[in-house]
Structure 1
């Protein structure tokens, strides 16, 4: 943390702008902790500086001074330039002491800092962008963040108030015993109480952060979080520990669990924006960005039914964010629920002009106005669970949809994820946005042969970025087929990569 404080100060000097540092380990267990660095426009750290961060982290104490000089020289940092760093932390017990080490690193570089205390990760990203845009994006305060979202959401609620339908404003929210629970409750103080009826569960008063709760738990375990009351057909939402991921879920009258993950959220948002563009007459380039983990049914639904272009990139939000910038309006989500919408300067200007364009009909102007508030409701810096929740609820209200109606837009193919321990993860290399394996020789051919045995099947493998494991993804027409394919592919990975431990074998049914 001390070293990352130094690095943040160097990045601030190099960009001649304010940067941010968030102390969090996101969806990881409470005993873990980590750090996320924030770029001047609220985006994640650029790849070159990820490399410098690795240098700093791996440097010995004796070599730290020379490592700092090496970074300063290679990045062409002018040390005479003043630096300013915003910092914040999540609710982990370790975050307080780690924040002090971070501050020590910043002050060691004779740099200014602002400590925001407890914030969600997306809130800090938002603050940094607001400050660097001289408030054009919003006020760089927590109250300013709430006010901007509340105003946009309530404006959209009134614009879409046409009556009728089965929409319910009742939500059970799983706060993962993290900072998101606190921030939702604070946000609700800025809202008219009749618009949203949110009951916050796992609010941190009992239970450990992310333990048997949170978005990652719901996504991976395919079941509701503990600490939530069992209610049939009630709309449920789960945040992760630092509130940059969100998934929806519910249990139907047959006690069947249904998950609406990042794919469902992305398709809902992309479809709604496309409707607004059509209704307003605006001609803007809309696209959806996914990773290989996106369910095949979602990709087919977007490209064939919604007719929205789909791009696939390597796993990691930074890759999705970068690709989404190539569109006038780029929607991106990982299946785990991390995502947002990006609007180009050209798109925002055209939307604002259309709101007041006398050559357009009243209905066209109204659709453009809805889109303008939808832009304001979006945290364009990074995935934001609260902002994304409000975007989804805006759309469900406008369409008068229940969560069941939303879920019925398309049916996910059953899928299974596994991981195989290997001696060296670099033995596996991929191409085509990680969908095709180029090494070891013969592995992709073996995967193709296995896929051919199943209906609507797809499978890929990719090495972990942090540990010596290879991740396996498989989907097929039935749960049984998806499970069987996943274990068969995992077995091939084990055989061809010097697998460690026991060879993967499907559990007996």
Structure 2
């Protein structure tokens, strides 16, 4: 073992040395920073992924992406055996390994093996995927070299969406019960179920089977083009920002959500249903222009309520005894929470920001729906729920209406990528529900009216100065900040605001909502100024985007 680890350290020191003393932390989205600062991190995460595979005796994934960030950035996240985010205790280990001095790399690896009861040389298999950033191929090679340095085996999938890699890992670790661990398996499973649900009538009521899609100049655009060969004519998708421009630059789901305006290079006519992916295709938002030409956003809250309402309807019609829960974060619009409770009659749970928290809580329901307001989410079914639905769908002795609803539920499970939020899968899920209801985008939007809101971010010297509680809805540090926020909020009708540290960079995120857009903007700006004052703000004083 010592000889193997020594050779691994030598390769890391010679080819992928840590060149800076800058501390880097594994956060909600893994490691994410400037690509030039990540080379040694990727090599070491390759090693760690192999160790994790040895420990779990399962495939582990390594995804090179910085999601919605602009191109100078890149990142890496590890995928655990069931497609979930890396276990929290291993986030600490990842941070420790990434920041070890070059001369301490061998001893740190040895300590990880010893403390986690891992025998070096145990078969290790790691799946590697990357997004379309120019820096991704070199960083992927660093990870591959790290895996191989400790005798791990690698399957390199090249350019894939983040959700695809999660799907592949899950498929292989379930002995292909979840599907075939390749793009053919991914496309075939989802498209077959989607087409079966759609039937031969592509339009229904106000629903028209065409939409415009902003691909964020990323991998989602590439994969949606490939997907269209499987989908045929049952849905017509016109893709904009399909790869000719800079990734996420003035386009993509985050751009549309935060700035609340359409992406560049995408013509938008009144009433046209449009959607936007982010750079690695795990976020989805919809939008349109109303009859007055006003921009209207349908974000993760709107998606969650649409999907939860449809699933609850099918469960009631099929007669199966399953509970449905909807998981939100503090970013969820207050109007959506009221609608879920009072109109849908679905239980709501609130958790801290981060998919790992939403996914974990959603697993506590028979059917758990979760979407962050940014459009990242999915639906998860418990093993018992899947078995119940499968049996009901196969039970021809049931009344025809109940059996038909159960069959729809059964097919719907295959449209959904349960392993992680998947923008392409979620797009087809939304289209399935709109088609079933016979709704155009305006009918969907009319279910409830969002409170106007605004998001801002404040650069600070150290994001860790901000500490929160109550699912990030209250700020506990620095002292006095929460009381100042409370005083500001009290001045605005239907006002609500909270602040939280970014999981990946030294910024504090500010969210505000109020009875009008002008008040939401003013509330957000006042809170941002107070954060800048009390949390050691750096750089430009916060100002509203023009």
Normalised to the residue count of structure 1, the TM-score between the two structures is 0.95
Aligned residue for 2:478? Answer: 440
Shift of 1:20: 1.0
Aligned residue for 2:86? Answer: 45
Residue 198 (structure 1) aligned to one of 237, 242, 258: 237
Distance 2:537 2:204 in 1: 58
Distance 1:213 1:252 in 2: 20
Aligned residue for 1:109? Answer: 150
With 182-191 and 351-360 compared, the bigger mean Cα shift is at 351-360
Unaligned runs of 5+ in 2: 1-41
Residue 59 (structure 1) aligned to one of 75, 79, 100: 100
Distance 1:271 1:237 in 2: 20
Distance 1:470 1:483 in 2: 17
Aligned residue for 1:177? Answer: 217
For residues 29-44 of structure 1, the aligned pairs below 5 Å read 29-44=70-85
Aligned residue for 1:376? Answer: 414
Distance 2:240 2:539 in 1: 39
> 2:167 matched to 1:129?
no
> 2:309 matched to 1:271?
yes
Shift of 1:504: 4.6
Aligned residue for 1:287? Answer: 325
For residues 312-461 of structure 1, the aligned pairs below 5 Å read 312-358=350-396, 360-461=398-499
Aligned residue for 2:508? Answer: 470
Shift of 1:489: 2.2
Shift of 1:185: 1.0
Secondary structure of the residue aligned to 2:199 is helix
Secondary structure of the residue aligned to 2:444 is helix
Shift of 1:490: 2.5
Secondary structure of the residue aligned to 1:33 is strand
> 2:269 matched to 1:231?
yes
Unaligned runs of 5+ in 1: none
Check conservation: 2:456, 2:544, Cα contact below 8 A. no
Distance 2:536 2:151 in 1: 50
Distance 1:499 1:26 in 2: 25
With 53-62 and 487-496 compared, the bigger mean Cα shift is at 487-496
Distance 1:469 1:143 in 2: 40
Against the structure 1 CA distance between its residues 188 and 450, is the aligned structure 2 distance closer, same or farther, given a 3 Å change threshold?
same
Distance 1:129 1:163 in 2: 34
Distance 2:140 2:541 in 1: 43
Aligned residue for 1:77? Answer: 118
Secondary structure of the residue aligned to 2:413 is helix
Shift of 1:4: 1.0
Secondary structure of the residue aligned to 1:34 is strand
Aligned residue for 2:139? Answer: 98
Against the structure 1 CA distance between its residues 499 and 108, is the aligned structure 2 distance closer, same or farther, given a 3 Å change threshold?
closer
Distance 1:163 1:7 in 2: 49
Distance 1:162 1:95 in 2: 39
> 2:200 matched to 1:166?
no
Aligned residue for 1:120? Answer: 161
Check conservation: 2:324, 2:365, Cα contact below 8 A. yes
CA distances 1:165-224 after superposition (whole Å, capped 9, x unpaired): 11011111111111111111111111231x1011111111x2111111111111111111
> 2:178 matched to 1:140?
no
Shift of 1:360: 2.6
Shift of 1:424: 3.9
Residue 56 (structure 2) aligned to one of 3, 9, 15: 15
For residues 202-217 of structure 1, the aligned pairs below 5 Å read 202-204=241-243, 206-217=244-255
Against the structure 1 CA distance between its residues 498 and 216, is the aligned structure 2 distance closer, same or farther, given a 3 Å change threshold?
closer
Distance 1:208 1:391 in 2: 28
Distance 2:398 2:446 in 1: 34
Aligned residue for 1:218? Answer: 256
CA distances 1:39-82 after superposition (whole Å, capped 9, x unpaired): 11111111111111111111122111111111111222121310
With 497-506 and 371-380 compared, the bigger mean Cα shift is at 497-506
Secondary structure of the residue aligned to 2:217 is coil
Shift of 1:501: 5.2
Shift of 1:254: 2.1
Shift of 1:162: 10
Shift of 1:438: 2.0
Shift of 1:31: 2.4
> 2:127 matched to 1:86?
yes
Shift of 1:469: 3.1
Shift of 1:149: 0.7
